[in-house]
Amino acid sequence: MRNIFATGLFLLLVGCGEQELTGAWIQPIPGMPGQTQGFLLEKGGRAESINMHTLLYENWKKNGDVLTLEGKSIGNGQTIEFSEEYRIEKVTAEELVLKKGENKSIFFRHQEY
């Protein structure tokens, strides 16, 4: 019985790893009906922005329930490197919920990227 529980726990933890997060995640752009934005998380830690021309994601990593996105913010003639951490509140095959402070962002998996 103990081995079955340990195996189940291991599979649950593995299932919440990098592979489950890889792929394209999008959300509606507030105030712009029909428009979406988000990010592409690739195996090996590479990231790309989707429909965000001034926020360029380059890398990502997961540590426990924390997702870190890194890249460059471009605007007003200057480029600033950034690193943002989000708590992964929920991840399924179709939905990713991230929280930063009191702000919650819901993303949906997009198959075209």
Total number of domains in the chain: 1
Question: Which token pair is 30?
Answer: 């507030």
Q: Which backbone phi and psi does 25 adopt, to 5 degrees?
A: -125, 125
CATH number of the domain residue 47 falls in: 2.40.128.280
| Total-model pTM | 0.80
Q: Rounded to whole angstroms, how far apart are CA atoms 20 and 92?
A: 8
Mean pLDDT by 10 residues, the chain (113 residues): 39 50 96 96 97 96 97 93 97 97 97 75
| Structural domain boundaries, residue 28 | 2-110
